[in-house]
Amino acid sequence: MEVKELGHIVLYVRNLERSVRFYRDVLGWRQILPDGDKGRDVLPVPVAAFAAPSGRTHHELLLIEVGEDAAGLPRGRRVGLYHFGLKVGDSDDELREAVRTLQEAGVPILGASDHTVTHSVYIADPDGNEIELYIDVPGVNWREDPTLIASPIKPLRL
């Protein structure tokens, strides 16, 4: 077997409507489900599916509502998902625009890093799932030298 690519991410969320507003209205994902009355009864729980505007695949993010009383993510060292990365462009100007959008929406920036191959800012969704928003740094050829991903992490100044 050979994995060809990362296909999609599925997240449990407390409040589907709140999470849809975040992923659709703040991050700009294209919502594909539910689409009007289509898809409302697909699963026995409320869900929403999204695809990136690139149309790379059928869906890249699925949200499943589990209710406001669901346990939160544990803090500190733990096993499981740390964060997932979303590419927002190929230039620092595009990353700056993303930061402006986040600030206008009141989304706190948790951190910013220069990883040599990427410039990244870190945020959390309404349920505390950490997200890295990044750009590939122009002129850095990580395809020819994959070890560049292990470069020392530096503070990012946009």
Long-range contacts of 99-105 (CB under 8 A, 24+ apart): 99/158, 101/26, 102/26, 102/133, 105/25, 105/26
- pLDDT tens column, 8-57: 999 999 999 999 999 999 999 999 988 655 545 556 788 999 998 888 88
Q: What is the mean pLDDT of residues 86-103?
A: 97
Closest to 26 (Cα-Cα) out of 126, 121, 129, 127: 126
Q: What does the mean pLDDT of the chain come to?
A: 92
d(CA 67, CA 22): 17
The SS3 assignment for 21 reads helix
pTM of the model: 0.92
The residue among 87, 63, 83 whose CA lies nearest residue 73 is 83
| CATH C-level class of 83-155 | alpha beta
Show me where the domains of the chain are located: 9-65, 83-155
In this prediction, residues 48-70 reach a mean pLDDT of: 91
- If we measure between CA atoms, which residue out of 98, 117, 115, 110 comes closest to residue 155? 115
CB 136 within 8 A of CB 117: yes
Mean pLDDT of 111-117: 97
